[in-house]
Amino acid sequence: MRGAKTRSCLLFAVTALGFAPSASASPQDLFGYGGRACAMAGLSGAISDDYAAVHANPAGLSRARDVAFSLGYQGAGFDITRRVAMGAPEHLGQDLSRGTVIGLALPLPFGGALRDRIVIGLGFYTPTDVVVRGRILRPETPQLLLLSDRTQTVGIQAGVGVALPWGLRVGGGFVALAAIRGGVVIAQDSTGRVGSRVDNQLVASYAPIVGVSFEHSIVRSSVVFRGTSVGRFGVTIEARDIGLPLPAFNIAGIAQYDPWQIAAETGVQLEGWSLLAGLTFKRWSEYPGPLERTTERSPEPPRPAMADTFVPRVAFEKEWARRTQRWALRGGYFFEASPLPSRTERANYLDNDRHVVSLGASVSARWRGTTAKFELWSQLHVLAARDFTDGTIEAAASPTITTAGAIIAGGTHVTVTF
């Protein structure tokens, strides 16, 4: 009997270790948020005027004058290859990313000095297949550290924007990512049989977003701070009174991670043109790594020595207006260098520099006090070929691992303004 119990317990633990939920970041950080920002290389904080300002810069919410509701759908496909030494390229299988976007801008109906000055915004991103996805892979398994599951988590954002005198606007809010906490207890029941009890909880991880924008004549400027956003998962497996001394197993790590960052942008608006340039600083050096220790006596998992990065961006928008219709054409480019070193001891973590080109368009029409706007956007991420060395082999004998590929993303949004 005891042998059967032992086998059952071990089988359960091994199964949990093998299939429990690599480190990633949010879709907002990877693509931007909202049809305008995604089409403009992630820039729009200096000119945003709808729900998407909850991410770009909450100060921009104060430009909204009417209640607006938005609904969108977006997706991304990954085509990434890995080649070891002079071997043939192998595709790194990545799931399609698909999700819905919901947004709301709500001006508060104050009068007097506060009239048209305070606006609340809400934004939601929900993957169509999961609530949050994370995967534990052995560190020695070649894996994309920052791209694999970045677009597979529920994200909720809220903010408030306030218009001040002299062209100054301020705003603040938060982003919440889904996280999982749970436990599995293996124990004997009253009949002496070994069973298990599972208790999982879905919780939220919060990070602040604060911003300021300034406009004078044709000049538009914006600075926003986004706090560190972490979506963790953790499941504890504990065996009690089963006749076998087993340590508690901690299946834990980070499913989603955005470093704290400061994004600044400036530009001009003139005769229907908006020309913007920006720079984003990301504090990747504080990244703790994707895994936590499995038991108290387990060795510390390898931690990649990430570097802080700067992301330069440029974008444009051209608008045309005629009576009750408006059209816009948008585009942009940004370059994001990988924060990951080319070798991580005891691990095979992979990542690439990305050149990203974005395009988009919108059309809107007003009828009887209601405006409907339809937006499209697309992005092409070109992953520059990069060489890594196998961190599980002596450096002198380590074969070269080369990764390259592309990501194609796009989406559509419909906004109704009342």
Query: For the segment 318-343, what is each residue's pLDDT rounded down to a tens digit?
Result: 999 998 999 999 999 999 999 999 99
Q: How far apart are CA 137 and CA 350, in angstroms?
A: 13
Q: How many domains does the chain have?
A: 1
Least confident of 20-24, 115-119, 189-193, 241-245: 20-24
- Other Cβ atoms within 10 Å of 364 Cβ, number: 18
Q: For residue 130, which amino acid is it?
A: V
Residue 317's domain is classified under what CATH number?
2.40.160.60
> Over the stretch 364-382, which tens digit does the pLDDT of each residue have?
999 988 999 999 999 999 9
Read off the pLDDT of each residue in 167-184 and give the average, rounded to a whole number: 88
Q: How far apart are CA 19 and CA 135, in angstroms?
A: 8
Q: How far apart are CA 156 and CA 351, in angstroms?
A: 27
> Over the stretch 216-264, which tens digit does the pLDDT of each residue have?
999 999 999 999 998 887 888 888 877 777 788 888 888 788 999 999 9
How far, rounded to the nearest angstrom, does the alpha carbon of residue 254 sit from its chain's CA centroid? 13
3-state SS assignment for residue 376? strand
How large a percentage of the chain has pLDDT more than 90?
A: 59
In this predicted model, which residue has the larger pLDDT, 399 or 209?
209
Q: How far apart are CA 151 and CA 381, in angstroms?
A: 14
pLDDT score for 115: 93
> Over the stretch 16-44, which tens digit does the pLDDT of each residue have?
333 333 445 678 899 999 999 999 999 99
Q: How far apart are CA 317 and CA 360, in angstroms?
A: 9
In this predicted model, which residue has the larger pLDDT, 393 or 277?
277
pLDDT score for 402: 94
In this predicted model, which residue has the larger pLDDT, 131 or 252?
252
Evaluate whether 227 touches 203 at the Cβ level (below 8 Å): no
Read off the pLDDT of each residue in 404-412 and give the average, rounded to a whole number: 96
Q: Which domain holds residue 140?
A: 2-417
What's 344's DSSP letter?
A: B
Q: How far is CA 186 from CA 8, 243, 294, 392, in A?
A: 10, 11, 17, 34
